Amino acid sequence: MHTAAFSAAIFAISALAGFLGSLTGLGGGVVVTPVLILLFGVDFHYAIGASLVSVIATSSGAAAAYVREGFSNIRVGMFLEIATTIGALTGAHLTSVIPVADLAVIFGVVLLYSAWHSMRHHGDLPVDRPDPLASHLRLNGTYPQGGRKVEYRVTHVRGGFGLMYVAGLLSGLLGIGSGAMKVIAMDQVMRIPFKVSTTTSNFMIGVTAAASAGVYLNHGYIRPALAMPVMLGVLLGSLLGARHLAGARTRNLRLVFAAVVAVMAVEMIYNGITGGLQ
């Protein structure tokens, strides 16, 4: 295949991944990696390098909008980024040690879980007991609702911090944003309102990914000519997806997409176990 045709095909599939990824909240990066590996025969390391770059682009672009709206909790984000960046640094170094077959299996399992998580119903959990650490760290905040500010309290700070380390670890290991796990750490463990959790997660993804990106660059995972169509495609697709999200009935689309993602996840696990990926 000519370079131009190859790049155009990757751009198109990345745009589709970005569009569906932003509609479902899965993120485009996590979907584009198995496509590059399974459909285009791209090496695992190059695929996660290109995907990580697209993750930084989409999360920073989305965070720019959310931060302005006042939903993101900057202090929660900043504090938890200590955990995610240390995790990312660890994970990014581990990718050069762990065999690709094992990484493919881990990737498949995380992808399956993310697909399942994206289909779940989200309701805010009440704060069961106040955590004095949250007050000490000034993590409690407000978010806008109908022209006024709603106050919320944060709890289980240590548990959330620990889970954020794991989220960062997976992000660095697999070149993904780990948005699903970041949201779980905030809304399920720390009991932060869902909308604040998702937007703060988005805010954190860029910094977490940047911590991995340095290691990826220095090990040669990021090839500019491959990352170019992936980053531009996913970015364009997710911008269109975010616009489409406002009025669309997306339930059927989400189900179909979750099924496609699940098939790819199983394919990754299968290839990893049978030695199809080296």
Where along the sequence are the contacts to another protein (CB under 8 A)? 1-4, 6-7, 40-46, 53, 56-57, 60-61, 63-65, 67-68, 70, 72, 74-75, 78-79, 81-82, 85-86, 88-89, 92, 96, 137-138, 206-207, 209-215, 217-220, 222-229, 231-232, 235
- CB of 1: closest distance to another protein in angstroms? 6
Nearer to another protein, 222 or 265 (CB): 222
Nearer to another protein, 99 or 259 (CB): 99
- CB of 232: closest distance to another protein in angstroms? 6
- CB of 260: closest distance to another protein in angstroms? 23
Nearer to another protein, 130 or 224 (CB): 224
- CB of 195: closest distance to another protein in angstroms? 15
Nearer to another protein, 77 or 115 (CB): 77
Nearer to another protein, 226 or 264 (CB): 226
Instruction: Answer for the pair 75, 141: CB distance below 8 angstroms, yes or no.
Output: yes
Give the number of other CB atoms < 10 A from CB of residue 80: 28
Tokens 């190059």 belong to 46
Nearer to another protein, 203 or 257 (CB): 203
b (16+ CB within 10 A) / e for 248-277: eeeeeebeebbeebeebbebbbebbeeeeb
